[in-house]
Structure 1
């Protein structure tokens, strides 16, 4: 008597032969199942965020973790790996289309120096906390940059410049979850506190833009206090995003040739995606990219980052995240409080 078992996940992705169409077609055939899975995760995360509210990146990560069983399917794993690596870098590069030199210059020297010092101090504080809590220095760098610069996007970008180890990959995902949740809480709590203290629109905008991690939540929190606060908060946040280039470049230089990377791997002096980031900043600043094209690049960046974080979730076992314990969460919380107190001290 013939019996039927449960079909394996690989059965959903047929193997097609593309040998007659050249190496490019063969490469596409090897990647499309994994890329399709990541695209579906991005669509699902976006649908939930738009209809139920909440952070899009967090939804993508949770869905990806739930689909971890697909990591064992060879025809899916190849495309997922490309999305997590190349898709991430493309998404970060396109962030440059959001920023112009005029926006950064409009802050003024004093505010710009204050924000830059706050970002650097938060990263150094993250390294200090990692040492105190007996965690690897890389965890302090990733968490400090994610809190100090631009949340999940910074965590992913910095991790791409560090030695590609499993430990760094797991901590990066935990950092994404942590900064997303903390940023959501800050979006609600900070405007209430600023309103109770009768802060001026400019002070409120500087504080919100200088402390909240995700740019979408910065805009939302700023608009709660009025259009002037919202505009100031957005410009300050864009300045923090611009800090991504020098910070990641310095980190890549510091970790060049260090142990911890797989044998034969080499971290470039300046990651190519940072050069593309600067290229898009230049195009936007010179007016080569119009507002519609910049908006399209911004949307593409968001989609690529959402798909990349979903791919990273697929590659990670949830149990591995839990093994990291409470210390990484305490680090993220401590850094969030630190940058809030620091920015408030010089902006009030």
Structure 2
């Protein structure tokens, strides 16, 4: 082998090894991503995926989870930003932001007295920011699968945007759910934000499509979100008392009466506006009777919901005349 040919051979072998190393690194990275954030979310008989959130959702010490949650969230966000086309990482990062906004920013802000309006409002705006950041990450996942999806939902029209939703499959239900929750969560905290308001029809359409594809997702979680929206929104925006009642009945049926958040929702959404004091008491009693030990993977949400139920009991006089 002459010197020039040998040099060429060595160069090509070096280039091959370099590219192979990059390819192996990418494969390894995707393997980690598929394990930590499988897409679609695994069922009980899934192929090797893990429930990466179980260590959080199965914990009943709210303070412990609140302290570690930002670290877990930022770890997933870092992985997502390093691999933005991985749908599982996008959904996991987005859903964690939405969970954090709800459980550890908005809910504590709910407990701040109205006399501390500025402090309360600043926390609500912070929660809104996280809701939208989470929704944006999840929408990236949907946009990866259906190019133009995010823009279509942001400016929803029946003739153009609905076609995107018909393409969605059962594997997209988790993405549709979290994206819709993030947008509606932000809207509930700041309904005067015109950009968020414009996204509401698309958010509702995503949730309704998810409910059609998989009605029993997460024991009725989609219907629970729709109940809250239908009850609060005017008919012109897709709400209405009859739709709220129907959605609530679906939620109650699919949850098997084993999610305290459903009873808390009923107390706040139906009993307070109707000034149904007895119904309010009964709903909160049912919420507090649920034993989290029977649902080891849902201890966190049960604990948080029951804390809310106790707070509502304490604050009942602020909501009912004569109490």
Fold equivalence (TM over 0.5): no
TM-score (norm 1): 0.23
TM-score (norm 2): 0.25
Higher RCO by CA contacts (8 Å cutoff, separation 6 or greater): 1
